[in-house]
Amino acid sequence: MGENVTMRHLIQSPETTIDHVGLVGRAIAPMVEAYRRLGFEVTTPADLMQPGPDGNPVPLGQVSAHAIFANTYVELTAVLDPGQGNHLDNWLARHEGLHILAFHAEDAQSSWDELAAHGLVMPPMRAATR
C-alpha cells in the first residue's frame, strides 16, 4: 500500500477484515447467561493464556467465552482481578461493554505497522490461547 492510502481504504480493504469483537466485563457468568438466554451458542468459559518467557502458557488474568456465529464470534471476557495490570484495566475502569475490535490479516505485523503509520492508535499485538 502506498503513502497516499487513506485510513478508510485500509480498513475497507479486502485484505483487512474484522476477526471478532469483544465485550469486557467484571464477571463472565452474567455475560454468558445473558447471551445464552438470547439464544446464542456460547462456549464454556476458559482462562485466557499468553506465552510466558519460557514459551509455556501463563494466565493473562482473564476468562473468556465465545458466542459463535457461522464465520466469526463475539468474545465475552472478564478481567479476573481488575487493577493488577491487565491490558483491559483502563477500558474496564470506564465502563463494561464493547472494547475489543480484532482485525484479521495474513501478515499481522505488516498490517499493524500500516494501520499505525496512518494514524490508527494501535495497542501492542499479543499472542493468546485458550
Query: For 72-127, how does the pLDDT look when each residue is reduced to its tens digit (9 = 90+)?
Result: 999 999 998 877 777 888 888 899 999 888 878 778 888 788 878 878 777 777 76
Per the structure, the complete domain to which residue 22 belongs is given by 7-117
pLDDT at 28: 97
- Establish if 20 belongs to a structural domain: yes
Q: Is there a domain that residue 123 lies in?
A: no
Asked if residue 1 is part of any domain, the answer here is no
60 within some domain: yes
pLDDT at 94: 92
What CATH number corresponds to the domain at position 91?
3.10.180.10
Please check whether residue 77 lies inside any domain of the structure: yes
Query: Does residue 122 lie within any of the structural domains?
Result: no
DSSP-derived letter for residue 42 is B
In a domain, 30, yes or no: yes
Q: Phi, psi (5° rounding) for residue 28?
A: -80, -35
Please check whether residue 128 lies inside any domain of the structure.
no
Q: Is the pTM of this model over 0.85?
A: no
Distance CA(117)–CA(26), nearest Å, equals 33
Q: What is the pLDDT of residues 2-37, one digit of tens each?
A: 455 555 666 666 666 788 999 999 999 999 999 999
Quick one: 70 exposed, middle or buried, by C-beta within 10 A (0-12, 13-18, 19+)? exposed
* Long-range interactions of 108-111: CB distance < 8 A, separation 24+: 111/15, 111/16
Query: Based on the structure, what is the number of domains in the chain?
Result: 1
The predicted pLDDT at position 2 comes to 47
